[in-house]
Structure 1
């Protein structure tokens, strides 16, 4: 139901954005999909059609999602743009099913419902279903965590391998595997510990391809990242630079408002992660794999701040923090009042930001 409701809401905003069309000119499904075809989605569809030989930045976009677009495009005679939305939609449905089930098993049905709601109304949750790889990665991540928590180590390894073929951050799932395996078995390892070798398999396979194709196994982090100027730095560097940018630019400037949103998203998730370890809503110690993984994912996201060319150090941070599952579960555990405040702020903001995306403005 959440997936359907989300698409209905996004379609309403998208149709409303078509107000400048001529009277009597109908809005087709193709028009709506075209309206969503922005930024990263153009890269994924290009890779699905032509591989990695077209543009120098393409290796920055990992192969599983464009591969699935290619498969869907073969099955569905709709073109790669629609195929990308279909793949994202299926992944989003799977993500919500897994999210609900995982949260229900760990924290109960009421928390599962509120966690799903918290994810659905996040200000940039539309990236889950409009043709990006966000929902695919999160679905694979939750599936990996669920398998780990249930002791299905080989399944966890396979899903983790697929996650590392979707985003380089999937490599952190190997650390979650190791942490939980040691918690369960200590140093009395069994033969199923070998499943850990599957966790980075997607990344290593992609690196092998890049080595064969470009003689550079690290091309996804080298030449391909130059347009954004991302380089490894201290995790607080992007936060400090964003604060400085906000302090030295007009408050009403769109770039300043954008930076405030980036910074607020990161700081909110930091607070929620802290509350996972301490306070009245802290998680049990046997559940610490969730906030520890979330901490790793957040640090990974903010430790590669964008360069001066973008004038946005925390670029895409509000999109990446959707991967911090523990933060949304914590939102699902909070009392009614803070959740109500979150809803009143987040839901309208989602509509505003999607409208900007449809206007071909950079959001996150």
Structure 2
């Protein structure tokens, strides 16, 4: 085979034909020390991701629940009041656990789970949200009797645990266990990682994307195709799994088109392409235009621009015309004045004041810094990552740069990067020594706590 088999080839030899021959063992894991070692490795593949997931959940949940209880909440933004109605407080345990993590997009998913995609006025913006997650929320609510928000919260958190387990396995396939461990910590403690526990699609999409790529990496193409199709029904980016799938197909079968045509794996690898088609069909049945998930973008103040124009808007501002959204807009560049305010008065009163928190939320500095960090990691990844991982990563960074928002030019980039898991593999490869790992982990965790509190009090994060 033409692709790396480091993860599966340990303990074996490579023949002249390039195939891997594994040494014969006795029993499931072999005997003696080798068998015990294999058993320990198999156990770690479950227990380590579980520990990381639980630590992540405790940090995020405590930060969110305490912010809801003691923090000063910002007034919810349109259309989260008025047209869509003010969010109804949850009761009991759901109030403590779910309510602080259902903000912003979580309320759109709630609306879709309860009402579907039909609607008028502002509610037509629902078409920007892909259907699998709200379908599962609705099904989970019917099955358990819980609210759709609670069902979404459970789905998100369980999906994140599953995603961590699959990601650990995938990283071990291409690198080793030490890199896998650091990758999981880098992902779980990233400053915007609270979205994995929120009523958002990040966890579900990560689970499906990693699962699809792991299956493809191992040559299980029908599993990869079906899971990839589910990813393409979760988020629009799922359809671009076709790119790393193509890379892996070529690496596994060679660049021989005649051989592809006689192989049903090519058909399986193409299943994610059905995602937009199925969503369009569903929108049509709901009385919407089948391309509404494309045309609706202007309602979210997105416009077409070259990537360099997007960065110019993000840094220094620009003027744009959006007829469907009301006309001309003055786009603000990143504001850095909050840093001077904090340095001039570095107190808890400053950090907790509504004015300061609102200034930080609207400054767009997080979006700009995160985007530049991601681009730097992606460039480093061209040398460090397997080709199929870069093929998955790079479109996820480039495509949003062609569709900035007049509200926040790099809107949601710190969140979009969470599901581009190769970024965190690169971090794990670059930051290895404890003298660097520890301070980075502490700083990232502190930012995670602060941004979770921001989100839970209705401040914009990403």
The verdict on a shared fold, with TM-score over 0.5 as the criterion, is yes
Among 29, 39, 52, the residue aligned to 2:93: 29
Distance 1:171 1:104 in 2: 25
CA RMSD, Structure 1 to Structure 2 (Å): 2.0
Counterpart of 1:214 in 2: which secondary structure?
coil
Partner in structure 2 of residue 120 of structure 1: 188
**1:331/1:339 contact within 8 Å kept:** no
Distance 1:277 1:75 in 2: 45
Please tell me whether residue 50 in structure 1 is matched to residue 148 in structure 2.
no
Please tell me whether residue 296 in structure 1 is matched to residue 395 in structure 2.
yes
**2:361/2:461 contact within 8 Å kept:** no
Deviation at 1:304, TM superposition (A): 1.3
Distance 2:315 2:71 in 1: 38
Distance 1:249 1:147 in 2: 44
Partner in structure 2 of residue 192 of structure 1: 265
**2:335/2:365 contact within 8 Å kept:** no
Distance 1:262 1:83 in 2: 30
**1:48/1:67 contact within 8 Å kept:** yes
**2:137/2:152 contact within 8 Å kept:** yes
Q: Which segments of 5 or more consecutive residues in structure 2 lack a partner in the other structure?
A: 1-50, 73-90, 318-331, 339-355
Q: Which segments of 5 or more consecutive residues in structure 1 lack a partner in the other structure?
A: 22-26
1:80-138 Cα offsets, whole Å, 9 max, x none, are 11111011111111111111111122111111110000001111101011210111111
Partner in structure 2 of residue 24 of structure 1: none
**1:238/1:314 contact within 8 Å kept:** yes
Counterpart of 1:56 in 2: which secondary structure?
helix
Larger Rg: 2
Among 365, 381, 384, the residue aligned to 1:276: 381
Among 160, 165, 174, the residue aligned to 2:228: 160
Cα 1:237/1:256, change in 2 over 3 Å: farther
1:23-67 Cα offsets, whole Å, 9 max, x none, are xxxx94221212222110001011111111131111110000000
Deviation at 1:184, TM superposition (A): 1.9
Distance 2:305 2:250 in 1: 30
Deviation at 1:215, TM superposition (A): 5.2
Deviation at 1:247, TM superposition (A): 6.3
Among 287, 306, 325, the residue aligned to 1:214: 287
Distance 1:320 1:88 in 2: 16
Distance 2:195 2:278 in 1: 27
Partner in structure 1 of residue 197 of structure 2: 129
Cα 1:258/1:104, change in 2 over 3 Å: farther
**2:393/2:423 contact within 8 Å kept:** yes
Partner in structure 1 of residue 307 of structure 2: 235
Counterpart of 1:236 in 2: which secondary structure?
helix
After TM superposition, which residue ranges in structure 1, 4 or more long, deviate above 6 angstroms?
Answer: none
Distance 1:20 1:175 in 2: 44
Cα 1:20/1:349, change in 2 over 3 Å: closer
Please tell me whether residue 104 in structure 1 is matched to residue 202 in structure 2.
no
Cα 1:340/1:219, change in 2 over 3 Å: same
Please tell me whether residue 263 in structure 1 is matched to residue 368 in structure 2.
yes
